[in-house]
Amino acid sequence: MSGRDGAGDFASPPCLASQIAPDYFDPLAVDPQQATDVARWRKAQREELLARRVALSVAERQEIATAIGKALDALLVQRLPDVRGRVISGYWPIRSEPDLRPWLASLHERGAIPALPVVERRASPLVFRPWRPGAAMERGHWNIPVPATTETLVPDVVLAPLVGWDAAGYRLGYGGGYFDRTLAARQPLAIGVGLQSARLATIYPQPHDIALAAIITECGCQYSSPQP
């Protein structure tokens, strides 16, 4: 080969435009065809992952929830050693999500302030209402029970239930985009919790997807972002 990089072999240098990432010039630009493909793929993955999760026995689910609670405690020792007075949002389990209410109750006993997410307005960030065992509940959006109070809190920690996840810290949820909108608005310590078997090679992160700080399954911590 003659010349530097073989440039002398061609009448004009080869065009490398095809090697430029499509989002190089505008980081928020999305190819509409690609966005549609990813949305369709995610819908199919959600259905499959949810069908597998619902097939677990009650005993299996309880074991998983207990193991996740222990792994969460281990993570908090590192990330938030003193939980007293800290607002920690969990979730009211739906669609066979691991039931972490006992863990939230134990946090309450340790002096933390548990909270639950609420969709007060469609296509908007979630708001967080205080919760404690036995708190009065009402039906919220999607029939999810939410605390019957108008009080709202700013969480220090937010648990994000995972339908699917990948090892880069990205979450597949129910397709409403609520957690992404919430994390775009403020930056609590966001911890994904879900089943080890819900791991995907990638969720094909899009510009609106925000990586979580950590991902916890019944097998322990699967991803943890570098600590600030």
Ligand X SMILES: Nc1nc2c(c(=O)[nH]1)N(C=O)[C@@H](CNc1ccc(C(=O)N[C@@H](CCC(=O)O)C(=O)O)cc1)CN2
Ligand Y SMILES: Nc1ncnc2c1ncn2[C@@H]1O[C@H](COP(=O)(O)OP(=O)(O)OP(=O)(O)O)[C@@H](O)[C@H]1O
Exposed / middle / buried, residue 202 (Cβ in 10 Å: 0-12, 13-18, 19+) = exposed
Instruction: Look at residue 184 and give the partner it binds from ligand X, ligand Y, none, a contact being a CB closer than 5 to 8 Å depending on partner kind.
Output: ligand Y
Q: Which x/- pattern, by CB under 6 A, does the window 152-171 give for ligand Y?
A: -------------------x
State the pairing for strand pair 171-172/164-165: antiparallel
Query: What stretch of H or E contains 74?
Result: helix 58-79
Of the two residues 112 and 126, which places its CB atom closer to ligand X in the complex?
126
Closest CA to 111 of 83, 139, 92: 83
Q: Which of 70, 177, 186, 220 binds ligand Y (CB under 6 A)?
A: 177
Q: Give min distance, CB of 178 to ligand X, in A.
A: 3
Shortest distance (Å) from residue 6 CB to ligand X? 49
Under the binding rule (CB under 6 A), the answer on residue 180 touching ligand Y is yes
Is there a contact between 96 and 61 (Cβ–Cβ < 8 Å)? yes
> Cβ 211 to ligand Y, closest distance in Å?
12
DSSP-assigned states of every residue in 164-200: EE-TTS-EE-SSS-HHHHHHHH---EEEEE--GGGB-
- Write the binding mask 64 to 103 for ligand X: x where contact by CB under 6 A, - elsewhere: ---------------------------xxxx--x------
Instruction: Tell me the closest approach of the beta carbon of residue 100 to ligand Y, in angstroms.
Output: 16
d(CA 13, CA 115): 60
The partner in contact with residue 170, picked from ligand Y, ligand X, none with C-beta cut-offs of 5 to 8 angstroms by kind, is none
Please give the single-letter amino acid code of residue 25: F
Q: Site for ligand Y (CB under 6 A): which residue of 82, 184, 186, 187?
A: 184
Shortest distance, position 157 Cβ to ligand Y, whole Å: 17
Q: Does 212 bind ligand Y (CB under 6 A)?
A: no
What is the size of the binding site for ligand Y (CB under 6 A)? 15
**Please, which residues have CB within 8 angstroms of residue 20's CB and are 6 or more apart in sequence?**
none
Kindly give, in sequence order, each residue whose CB lies less than 8 Å from that of residue 142, ignoring residues fewer than 6 positions away.
94, 119
Residues in touch with ligand X (CB under 6 A): 91-94, 97, 117, 119, 126, 141-142, 144, 161, 173-176, 178-179
Residues in touch with ligand Y (CB under 6 A): 42, 171-181, 184, 208-209
